[in-house]
């Protein structure tokens, strides 16, 4: 007897249509005032869905997605991990904090190699984002690494710092880089030389993702490795100059810079050095890691390839082994929803545009690249446009919608998942008119998608991975300040059943969160959820 038969839920009545999970990336449930981009947008489809479907809010931040505290905002990586894994794992910041607090991070072979390079005369370089946004990195973790370098007697350290302005305030770079400069200056005693060597805004320097624009990584390589770029005497001088030259300048889009003395960069990366990428989130760490790790590299002309020991804070892609060396073991996520559906013979289809493609595949599948079962799965990536997202806020929602409608009509896939990236990517720009257009675009496309699901007699589950567009600005001292970071607001989860073959009802789940969605999808598909999943949000009425 097949596993598919033994795991069927008792009393469930099969139906012909698909189960479609729609992730409205970055569209949380805000305060329903003028700052709430989801509320002020014209969203008749979403409003109707929330009024007629089975609805519950979900927690999408903090402890509910494995982060250190409920003060931590959610993000797309941990959100999709929770959605696809069906349970909560210690994530990014929490894993790194635990390794730093216990000292475990300094006990492995990777840190030993860093020390070996330093004791043979190599410089220790740290590359990463300098903020306390706690999504890709945290400045406190960098400070602990610097403290350890002092303790170990490492004489020369260089930091290549990337400005955030996305998970923190849009123009907060001076605050973090002043603190970093003070930290390094305090360490530069007793023969030690610790300095910032280069930097730039995260969206134009180093931190590209999903092969969207390798020019971003090339720009980082030029600044960090080659020492090429605009010269400044200090990082804070660079940031202040860019602010002064363009009052509209925000941190995430700031040009790269190089710190120089007497016309020479102070911290190029050379043979024999050690390089640590101290970001812990994977999506924007893979490409720069490849540039350091791959001998045969063709994405751009590196011009000079220093023989260094390179390590990531974590291994950002376990299947592809990127990078080869890392300080902290990633969460071991097995038994995901994707694996379970493949075991049960359920065919599935996953789609998004480039900016979120890895979220509905790699992160959804527990930080695993590639197909679980290529015979049962189909993954589709729609290439994202290479323009600022506020200039094209509709992004690729239309193309995604057309592809999904076609997949529904073909009837080959019982489970379909898709991600509309607009609410998050445009929400990060802080441009209010563009945020409204982004949300309205998603709503328009959602309406067409629902009609296709209805025609096929299927079921749709609509949710989000975290908030963003639900807060476009905050007020301080009577002034509106753009809000470009994620929020800690709950996200909606609404189920619309267009076939009524089964009597679904909301189950009494305490403090429901994103991790409950996987079991809920099992319920909709007529499968008994695995015992290790968080409970389903639904039950079958007798």
Q: What pLDDT score was predicted for residue 73?
A: 87
The rounded average pLDDT for each run of 10 residues, N- to C-terminus, in the chain (542 residues) is 58 95 98 97 97 95 90 90 95 90 96 98 98 94 98 98 96 98 97 98 94 95 98 98 97 98 98 97 92 97 98 84 90 92 98 96 92 98 95 98 98 98 95 97 98 98 97 88 90 97 96 98 97 96 74
N-to-C CA span, the chain: 26
Torsion sign across C-alpha atoms 3, 5, 8, 10: negative
Domain with CATH 3.40.1450.10 in the chain: 93-328
Residues catalogued as catalytic = 76
Alpha carbons 275 and 290: distance in angstroms, whole number: 13
> Could you tell me where the beta strands, DSSP code E, fall in 306-347?
309-314, 326-328
Domain with CATH 3.40.720.10 in the chain: 3-90+332-540
Report whether CATH 3.40.640.10 matches the domain 93-328. no
Q: What pLDDT score was predicted for residue 2?
A: 35
- Could you write out the DSSP letters of every residue in 246-277? -TT--GGGPPPEEEEETTEES----TT-EEEE
Alpha carbons 363 and 349: distance in angstroms, whole number: 15
* Domain at 3-90+332-540, CATH from 3.40.720.10, 3.30.565.10, 3.40.50.1000, 3.10.129.10: 3.40.720.10
Per the CB < 8 A criterion, the answer to whether 83 and 514 are in contact is: yes
Beta bridge partners of 415: 19, 348
């Amino acid at each position: 007897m097949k596993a598919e038969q033994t795991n069927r839920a008792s009393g469930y009545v099969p139906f012909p249509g698909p189960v479609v999970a729609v992730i409205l990336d970055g569209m949380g449930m805000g305060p329903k005032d003028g700052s709430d981009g989801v509320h002020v947008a014209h969203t008749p489809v979403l409003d109707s869905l929330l009024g007629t479907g089975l609805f519950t809010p979900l927690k999408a931040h903090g402890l509910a997605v494995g982060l250190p505290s409920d003060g931590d905002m959610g993000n797309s990586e941990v959100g999709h991990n929770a959605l696809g894994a069906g349970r909560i794992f210690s994530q990014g910041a929490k894993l790194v904090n635990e390794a730093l607090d216990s000292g475990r991070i300094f006990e492995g072979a990777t840190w030993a190699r860093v020390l070996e390079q330093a004791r043979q005369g190599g410089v220790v370089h740290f590359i990463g984002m300098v903020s306390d946004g706690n999504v890709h990195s945290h400045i406190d973790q960098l400070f602990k690494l610097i403290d350890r370098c002092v303790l170990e007697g490492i004489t020369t350290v260089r930091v290549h710092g990337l400005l955030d302005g996305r998970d923190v305030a849009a123009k907060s770079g001076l605050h973090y880089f002043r603190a970093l400069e003070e930290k390094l200056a305090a360490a530069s005693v007793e023969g030690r030389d610790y300095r910032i060597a280069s930097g730039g805004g995260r969206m134009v320097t180093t931190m590209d993702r999903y092969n969207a624009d390798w020019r971003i990584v090339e720009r980082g390589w030029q600044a960090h490795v080659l020492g090429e770029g605009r010269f400044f005497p200090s990082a804070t001088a660079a940031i202040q100059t860019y602010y002064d030259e363009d009052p509209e300048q925000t941190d995430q889009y700031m040009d790269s810079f190089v710190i120089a003395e007497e016309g020479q960069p102070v911290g190029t990366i050379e043979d024999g050095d050690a390089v640590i990428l101290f970001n812990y989130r994977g999506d924007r760490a893979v490409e720069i890691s490849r540039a350091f790790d791959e001998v045969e590299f063709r994405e751009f002309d590196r011009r000079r390839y220093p023989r260094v020991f390179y390590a990531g804070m974590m291994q950002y892609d376990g299947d592809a082994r990127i990078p080869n060396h890392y300080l902290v073991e990633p969460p071991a996520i097995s038994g995901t929803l994707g694996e379970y559906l493949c075991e049960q013979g359920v065919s599935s289809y996953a789609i998004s545009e480039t900016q979120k493609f890895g979220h509905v595949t790699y992160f959804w599948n527990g930080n695993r690249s590639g197909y679980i079962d290529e015979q049962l799965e189909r993954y589709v990536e729609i290439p994202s446009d290479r323009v600022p997202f506020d200039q094209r806020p509709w992004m690729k929602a239309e193309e995604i919608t057309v592809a999904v409608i076609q997949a529904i009509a073909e009837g080959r896939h019982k489970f379909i998942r898709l991600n509309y990236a607009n609410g998050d990517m445009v929400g990060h720009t802080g441009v209010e008119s563009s945020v409204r257009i982004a949300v309205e675009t998603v709503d328009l496309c959602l309406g067409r998608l629902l009609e296709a699901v209805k025609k096929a007699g299927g079921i749709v589950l609509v949710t989000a991975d975290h908030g963003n567009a639900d807060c476009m600005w905050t007020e301080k001292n009577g002034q509106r300040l753009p809000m470009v970071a994620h929020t800690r607001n709950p996200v909606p989860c609404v189920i619309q059943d267009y076939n009524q073959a089964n009597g679904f009802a909301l189950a009494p789940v305490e403090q429901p969160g994103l991790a409950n969605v996987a079991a809920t999808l099992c319920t909709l598909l007529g499968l008994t959820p695995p015992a290790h999943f968080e409970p389903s949000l639904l039950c079958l009425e007798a």
